[in-house]
Structure 1
Amino acid sequence: AVLFDELELPDLGSLQADIAHVVLQFAALLERPETKTALMAVVAESTRDVPLRERIRTSIVDRQKRLVLDGRRRAQERGELSADPDPVTVDALDDLIFDVVAGAVVHRALVSAEPVDAVWVARLSALLVGGLGGAAALG
Protein backbone atom coordinates (compact mmCIF):
# COMPACT_ATOMS: atom_id res chain seq x y z
CA ALA A 1 0.00 0.00 0.00
CA VAL A 2 2.84 2.38 0.82
CA LEU A 3 4.36 1.87 -2.64
CA PHE A 4 1.08 2.77 -4.34
CA ASP A 5 0.78 5.93 -2.24
CA GLU A 6 3.71 7.27 -4.29
CA LEU A 7 1.38 7.77 -7.26
CA GLU A 8 0.53 11.41 -7.86
CA LEU A 9 -1.70 13.25 -10.29
CA PRO A 10 -0.22 16.64 -11.14
CA ASP A 11 -2.41 19.01 -13.11
CA LEU A 12 -0.89 18.92 -16.60
CA GLY A 13 -3.63 20.99 -18.20
CA SER A 14 -5.76 18.29 -19.81
CA LEU A 15 -7.49 15.12 -18.75
CA GLN A 16 -5.65 13.10 -21.38
CA ALA A 17 -2.24 14.35 -20.21
CA ASP A 18 -3.17 13.73 -16.57
CA ILE A 19 -4.23 10.15 -17.34
CA ALA A 20 -1.10 9.45 -19.37
CA HIS A 21 1.13 10.74 -16.57
CA VAL A 22 -0.43 8.63 -13.82
CA VAL A 23 -0.49 5.52 -16.05
CA LEU A 24 3.23 5.89 -16.76
CA GLN A 25 3.90 6.33 -13.02
CA PHE A 26 1.86 3.21 -12.26
CA ALA A 27 3.71 1.22 -14.92
CA ALA A 28 7.07 2.35 -13.55
CA LEU A 29 5.98 1.26 -10.10
CA LEU A 30 5.01 -2.16 -11.44
CA GLU A 31 8.46 -2.53 -13.02
CA ARG A 32 10.10 -2.42 -9.59
CA PRO A 33 10.91 -5.98 -8.48
CA GLU A 34 9.56 -5.47 -4.96
CA THR A 35 6.23 -4.19 -6.27
CA LYS A 36 5.84 -6.87 -8.91
CA THR A 37 6.66 -9.71 -6.51
CA ALA A 38 4.49 -8.41 -3.69
CA LEU A 39 1.52 -7.60 -5.89
CA MET A 40 1.50 -10.96 -7.65
CA ALA A 41 1.78 -12.84 -4.34
CA VAL A 42 -0.90 -10.81 -2.59
CA VAL A 43 -3.33 -11.04 -5.50
CA ALA A 44 -2.82 -14.80 -5.76
CA GLU A 45 -3.37 -15.29 -2.04
CA SER A 46 -6.41 -13.00 -2.01
CA THR A 47 -8.29 -15.40 -4.30
CA ARG A 48 -8.52 -17.74 -1.29
CA ASP A 49 -8.47 -15.25 1.56
CA VAL A 50 -11.51 -12.98 1.78
CA PRO A 51 -10.16 -10.80 4.66
CA LEU A 52 -6.97 -10.21 2.66
CA ARG A 53 -9.03 -9.26 -0.39
CA GLU A 54 -10.93 -6.74 1.74
CA ARG A 55 -7.68 -5.36 3.13
CA ILE A 56 -6.35 -4.91 -0.43
CA ARG A 57 -9.53 -3.03 -1.29
CA THR A 58 -9.31 -0.67 1.68
CA SER A 59 -5.57 -0.10 1.78
CA ILE A 60 -4.78 0.03 -1.93
CA VAL A 61 -7.82 0.26 -4.20
CA ASP A 62 -9.97 2.68 -2.22
CA ARG A 63 -6.97 4.89 -1.42
CA GLN A 64 -5.88 5.05 -5.05
CA LYS A 65 -9.34 5.95 -6.33
CA ARG A 66 -8.44 9.45 -5.14
CA LEU A 67 -6.55 9.79 -8.43
CA VAL A 68 -9.76 9.22 -10.40
CA LEU A 69 -11.73 11.61 -8.20
CA ASP A 70 -9.07 14.34 -8.49
CA GLY A 71 -8.74 13.84 -12.25
CA ARG A 72 -12.50 14.01 -12.81
CA ARG A 73 -12.85 17.10 -10.59
CA ARG A 74 -10.04 18.92 -12.42
CA ALA A 75 -11.45 17.99 -15.82
CA GLN A 76 -14.83 19.37 -14.73
CA GLU A 77 -13.20 22.59 -13.53
CA ARG A 78 -11.43 22.96 -16.89
CA GLY A 79 -14.70 22.30 -18.75
CA GLU A 80 -13.49 19.02 -20.27
CA LEU A 81 -16.20 17.01 -18.50
CA SER A 82 -19.67 18.07 -17.47
CA ALA A 83 -20.76 17.65 -13.89
CA ASP A 84 -23.06 14.68 -13.35
CA PRO A 85 -25.80 15.54 -10.86
CA ASP A 86 -26.39 11.89 -9.91
CA PRO A 87 -23.84 10.80 -7.24
CA VAL A 88 -24.70 7.11 -7.73
CA THR A 89 -23.78 7.34 -11.41
CA VAL A 90 -20.60 9.27 -10.59
CA ASP A 91 -19.50 6.70 -8.01
CA ALA A 92 -20.14 3.80 -10.40
CA LEU A 93 -18.26 5.59 -13.18
CA ASP A 94 -15.31 6.34 -10.90
CA ASP A 95 -15.15 2.65 -9.96
CA LEU A 96 -15.25 1.64 -13.63
CA ILE A 97 -12.54 4.14 -14.64
CA PHE A 98 -10.27 2.88 -11.87
CA ASP A 99 -10.90 -0.75 -12.84
CA VAL A 100 -10.22 -0.08 -16.51
CA VAL A 101 -6.96 1.79 -15.89
CA ALA A 102 -5.61 -0.52 -13.18
CA GLY A 103 -6.72 -3.65 -15.00
CA ALA A 104 -5.27 -2.59 -18.34
CA VAL A 105 -1.90 -1.60 -16.88
CA VAL A 106 -1.56 -4.66 -14.65
CA HIS A 107 -2.55 -6.95 -17.50
CA ARG A 108 -0.19 -5.31 -19.96
CA ALA A 109 2.78 -5.10 -17.58
CA LEU A 110 2.45 -8.27 -15.53
CA VAL A 111 0.32 -10.74 -17.48
CA SER A 112 1.22 -10.01 -21.11
CA ALA A 113 4.69 -8.71 -20.25
CA GLU A 114 4.31 -6.04 -22.93
CA PRO A 115 5.75 -2.56 -22.51
CA VAL A 116 3.63 0.20 -21.07
CA ASP A 117 5.31 2.82 -23.20
CA ALA A 118 4.35 6.28 -24.39
CA VAL A 119 2.60 4.98 -27.52
CA TRP A 120 0.47 2.46 -25.62
CA VAL A 121 -0.30 5.02 -22.91
CA ALA A 122 -1.36 7.59 -25.53
CA ARG A 123 -3.79 5.05 -27.00
CA LEU A 124 -5.17 4.11 -23.59
CA SER A 125 -5.67 7.72 -22.52
CA ALA A 126 -7.28 8.58 -25.88
CA LEU A 127 -9.63 5.63 -25.45
CA LEU A 128 -10.60 6.78 -21.97
CA VAL A 129 -11.13 10.40 -22.95
CA GLY A 130 -12.60 10.02 -26.42
CA GLY A 131 -14.10 6.55 -26.47
CA LEU A 132 -13.43 4.15 -29.30
CA GLY A 133 -13.41 6.92 -31.92
CA GLY A 134 -10.58 8.75 -30.13
CA ALA A 135 -8.39 5.68 -29.91
CA ALA A 136 -9.05 4.69 -33.53
CA ALA A 137 -7.88 8.12 -34.69
CA LEU A 138 -4.41 7.40 -33.27
CA GLY A 139 -4.08 4.29 -35.41
Structure 2
Amino acid sequence: MCALPSGKRTGRPRSAAADEAILDATRAALAELGWGRLTLGDVAARAGVAKTTLYRRWPGKNELVVDAVAALFEEQLDVPDRGGLQADIQGVVLRFAELISRPETKTALMAVVAEATLDEALRRRIRAAIVDRQKRLVLIGRERAQARGELPPDDGSAPARDDLIFDVIAGAVVHRVMVSSEPVDQEWAERLARLLVCGLSGLA
Protein backbone atom coordinates (compact mmCIF):
# COMPACT_ATOMS: atom_id res chain seq x y z
CA MET A 1 0.00 0.00 0.00
CA CYS A 2 1.15 3.52 -0.73
CA ALA A 3 1.71 5.82 2.22
CA LEU A 4 -0.29 9.01 2.43
CA PRO A 5 1.70 12.12 1.48
CA SER A 6 3.31 13.82 4.46
CA GLY A 7 1.09 16.46 6.10
CA LYS A 8 -2.14 15.15 4.52
CA ARG A 9 -5.16 14.60 6.77
CA THR A 10 -7.58 11.74 6.38
CA GLY A 11 -11.32 12.14 6.68
CA ARG A 12 -13.53 15.08 5.88
CA PRO A 13 -12.22 18.60 6.39
CA ARG A 14 -13.83 20.64 9.14
CA SER A 15 -16.66 22.94 8.14
CA ALA A 16 -16.42 26.49 9.48
CA ALA A 17 -20.18 26.84 9.02
CA ALA A 18 -20.82 23.72 11.11
CA ASP A 19 -18.45 24.96 13.82
CA GLU A 20 -20.23 28.32 13.96
CA ALA A 21 -23.65 26.66 14.09
CA ILE A 22 -22.54 24.40 16.94
CA LEU A 23 -21.08 27.26 19.00
CA ASP A 24 -24.18 29.41 18.42
CA ALA A 25 -26.40 26.50 19.45
CA THR A 26 -24.32 25.93 22.57
CA ARG A 27 -24.77 29.51 23.75
CA ALA A 28 -28.51 29.42 22.98
CA ALA A 29 -28.94 26.15 24.86
CA LEU A 30 -27.04 27.49 27.86
CA ALA A 31 -29.29 30.53 28.06
CA GLU A 32 -32.43 28.41 27.82
CA LEU A 33 -31.52 25.24 29.71
CA GLY A 34 -28.63 26.15 31.99
CA TRP A 35 -25.50 24.10 32.52
CA GLY A 36 -27.09 21.09 34.23
CA ARG A 37 -29.63 20.34 31.49
CA LEU A 38 -27.37 21.09 28.55
CA THR A 39 -26.40 17.99 26.57
CA LEU A 40 -24.30 17.52 23.47
CA GLY A 41 -27.25 15.78 21.84
CA ASP A 42 -29.40 18.86 22.33
CA VAL A 43 -26.68 21.10 20.91
CA ALA A 44 -26.33 18.86 17.86
CA ALA A 45 -30.08 18.95 17.24
CA ARG A 46 -30.20 22.75 17.55
CA ALA A 47 -27.22 23.14 15.22
CA GLY A 48 -28.66 20.75 12.65
CA VAL A 49 -25.63 18.47 12.67
CA ALA A 50 -25.11 14.82 13.48
CA LYS A 51 -23.88 13.92 16.96
CA THR A 52 -20.80 12.36 15.38
CA THR A 53 -19.98 15.72 13.77
CA LEU A 54 -20.02 17.38 17.18
CA TYR A 55 -18.07 14.62 18.94
CA ARG A 56 -15.33 14.75 16.31
CA ARG A 57 -14.75 18.38 17.24
CA TRP A 58 -15.29 18.43 21.03
CA PRO A 59 -14.72 15.49 23.38
CA GLY A 60 -17.12 16.77 26.04
CA LYS A 61 -19.38 19.51 27.32
CA ASN A 62 -16.64 21.37 29.21
CA GLU A 63 -14.48 21.85 26.14
CA LEU A 64 -17.46 22.82 23.98
CA VAL A 65 -18.68 25.46 26.40
CA VAL A 66 -15.19 26.98 26.82
CA ASP A 67 -14.83 27.29 23.06
CA ALA A 68 -18.35 28.76 22.72
CA VAL A 69 -17.49 31.50 25.21
CA ALA A 70 -14.04 32.05 23.68
CA ALA A 71 -15.60 32.55 20.24
CA LEU A 72 -18.01 35.14 21.62
CA PHE A 73 -15.13 37.12 23.14
CA GLU A 74 -13.09 36.83 19.94
CA GLU A 75 -15.96 38.15 17.84
CA GLN A 76 -17.23 40.95 20.06
CA LEU A 77 -14.59 42.12 22.52
CA ASP A 78 -12.13 44.76 21.37
CA VAL A 79 -10.47 47.98 22.49
CA PRO A 80 -12.30 50.92 20.95
CA ASP A 81 -10.03 53.83 20.08
CA ARG A 82 -11.50 56.69 22.14
CA GLY A 83 -8.52 58.97 21.81
CA GLY A 84 -6.97 58.44 25.24
CA LEU A 85 -5.79 55.64 27.51
CA GLN A 86 -8.33 56.22 30.28
CA ALA A 87 -11.21 56.40 27.82
CA ASP A 88 -9.96 53.25 26.03
CA ILE A 89 -9.89 51.33 29.32
CA GLN A 90 -13.35 52.56 30.21
CA GLY A 91 -14.67 51.37 26.86
CA VAL A 92 -13.27 47.85 27.13
CA VAL A 93 -14.48 47.54 30.74
CA LEU A 94 -18.04 48.38 29.69
CA ARG A 95 -17.93 46.00 26.73
CA PHE A 96 -16.47 43.14 28.79
CA ALA A 97 -19.10 43.64 31.49
CA GLU A 98 -21.89 43.60 28.91
CA LEU A 99 -20.64 40.32 27.46
CA ILE A 100 -20.30 38.46 30.76
CA SER A 101 -23.67 39.77 31.93
CA ARG A 102 -25.42 37.83 29.19
CA PRO A 103 -27.21 34.76 30.63
CA GLU A 104 -25.40 32.28 28.40
CA THR A 105 -21.97 33.76 29.12
CA LYS A 106 -22.51 34.06 32.86
CA THR A 107 -23.87 30.50 33.08
CA ALA A 108 -20.99 29.13 31.06
CA LEU A 109 -18.24 30.96 32.94
CA MET A 110 -19.55 30.06 36.38
CA ALA A 111 -19.90 26.41 35.38
CA VAL A 112 -16.54 25.92 33.70
CA VAL A 113 -14.67 27.78 36.44
CA ALA A 114 -16.28 25.51 39.04
CA GLU A 115 -15.42 22.42 37.00
CA ALA A 116 -11.88 23.67 36.43
CA THR A 117 -11.10 23.65 40.16
CA LEU A 118 -10.90 19.86 39.87
CA ASP A 119 -9.70 19.54 36.28
CA GLU A 120 -6.22 20.74 35.34
CA ALA A 121 -6.77 20.02 31.64
CA LEU A 122 -9.86 22.24 31.67
CA ARG A 123 -7.91 25.02 33.44
CA ARG A 124 -5.31 24.87 30.68
CA ARG A 125 -8.01 25.06 28.04
CA ILE A 126 -9.58 28.11 29.71
CA ARG A 127 -6.20 29.83 29.87
CA ALA A 128 -5.37 29.03 26.24
CA ALA A 129 -8.78 29.67 24.69
CA ILE A 130 -9.94 32.66 26.73
CA VAL A 131 -7.39 34.23 29.07
CA ASP A 132 -4.26 34.21 26.91
CA ARG A 133 -6.14 35.28 23.78
CA GLN A 134 -7.83 38.21 25.49
CA LYS A 135 -4.55 39.51 26.91
CA ARG A 136 -3.99 40.85 23.40
CA LEU A 137 -6.39 43.66 24.32
CA VAL A 138 -3.96 44.96 26.92
CA LEU A 139 -1.13 44.84 24.37
CA ILE A 140 -3.22 46.76 21.83
CA GLY A 141 -4.16 49.39 24.40
CA ARG A 142 -0.58 49.78 25.63
CA GLU A 143 0.88 50.13 22.14
CA ARG A 144 -1.77 52.68 21.23
CA ALA A 145 -1.04 54.70 24.38
CA GLN A 146 2.70 54.56 23.67
CA ALA A 147 2.10 55.86 20.16
CA ARG A 148 0.19 58.81 21.66
CA GLY A 149 2.99 59.48 24.14
CA GLU A 150 0.80 58.62 27.14
CA LEU A 151 3.08 55.76 28.20
CA PRO A 152 6.89 55.42 27.97
CA PRO A 153 8.51 53.00 25.51
CA ASP A 154 8.96 49.38 26.58
CA ASP A 155 11.75 48.75 29.07
CA GLY A 156 11.56 44.95 29.10
CA SER A 157 8.97 44.69 31.87
CA ALA A 158 5.93 45.25 29.65
CA PRO A 159 4.77 41.58 29.53
CA ALA A 160 4.63 41.33 33.32
CA ARG A 161 2.76 44.64 33.54
CA ASP A 162 0.37 43.55 30.81
CA ASP A 163 -0.45 40.40 32.79
CA LEU A 164 -1.09 42.43 35.92
CA ILE A 165 -3.27 44.97 34.11
CA PHE A 166 -5.31 42.17 32.56
CA ASP A 167 -5.76 40.47 35.92
CA VAL A 168 -6.87 43.72 37.57
CA ILE A 169 -9.41 44.59 34.88
CA ALA A 170 -10.79 41.10 34.35
CA GLY A 171 -10.83 40.31 38.06
CA ALA A 172 -12.58 43.52 39.01
CA VAL A 173 -15.26 43.21 36.34
CA VAL A 174 -15.92 39.50 36.91
CA HIS A 175 -16.20 40.05 40.66
CA ARG A 176 -18.50 43.02 40.18
CA VAL A 177 -20.83 41.21 37.77
CA MET A 178 -20.73 37.60 38.93
CA VAL A 179 -20.02 37.82 42.66
CA SER A 180 -21.30 41.16 43.89
CA SER A 181 -24.10 41.35 41.29
CA GLU A 182 -23.58 45.09 41.03
CA PRO A 183 -23.90 47.09 37.80
CA VAL A 184 -20.91 48.06 35.73
CA ASP A 185 -22.10 51.47 34.55
CA GLN A 186 -20.35 54.48 33.06
CA GLU A 187 -19.45 55.92 36.47
CA TRP A 188 -17.97 52.68 37.84
CA ALA A 189 -16.04 52.01 34.63
CA GLU A 190 -14.66 55.55 34.69
CA ARG A 191 -13.48 55.17 38.30
CA LEU A 192 -11.77 51.86 37.54
CA ALA A 193 -10.06 53.35 34.48
CA ARG A 194 -8.92 56.37 36.50
CA LEU A 195 -7.55 54.09 39.22
CA LEU A 196 -5.47 52.19 36.67
CA VAL A 197 -4.15 55.31 34.97
CA CYS A 198 -3.68 57.65 37.95
CA GLY A 199 -3.40 55.36 40.97
CA LEU A 200 -5.21 55.83 44.26
CA SER A 201 -4.47 59.53 44.31
CA GLY A 202 -6.55 59.93 41.15
CA LEU A 203 -9.75 58.84 42.91
CA ALA A 204 -9.98 61.87 45.15
TM-score (norm 2): 0.65
Q: Kindly report which structure 2 residues correspond to 1:1-139, keeping only aligned pairs within 5 A, or say none.
A: 1-5=70-74, 6-86=76-156, 89-134=157-202, 136-137=203-204
Deviation for aligned residue 1:84: 2.4
Q: Displaced runs of 4+ in structure 1, greater than 4 A?
A: none
Secondary structure of residue in 2 paired with 1:3: helix
Q: Aligned AA for 1:130?
A: C
5+ residue gaps in structure 2? 1-69
Distance in 1 (CA, whole Å) between partners of 2:172 and 2:155 is 28
Structure 1 residues 28-85: Cα deviation after superposition (integer angstroms, max 9, x where no partner): 0011100000000011111110010000001001110110000000000000000122
Q: Aligned AA for 2:129?
A: S
Secondary structure of residue in 2 paired with 1:91: helix
Deviation for aligned residue 1:3: 1.3
Asked which structure has the greater RCO (Cα within 8 Å, sep 6+), the reply is 1
| Count of residues in correspondence between the two structures | 134
Q: Aligned AA for 1:3?
A: L
Structure 1 residues 8-45: Cα deviation after superposition (integer angstroms, max 9, x where no partner): 11211000110000100001001110000000001111
TM-score (norm 1): 0.94
Q: Aligned AA for 1:93?
A: R
Distance in 2 (CA, whole Å) between partners of 1:90 and 1:39 is 28
Deviation for aligned residue 1:96: 0.3
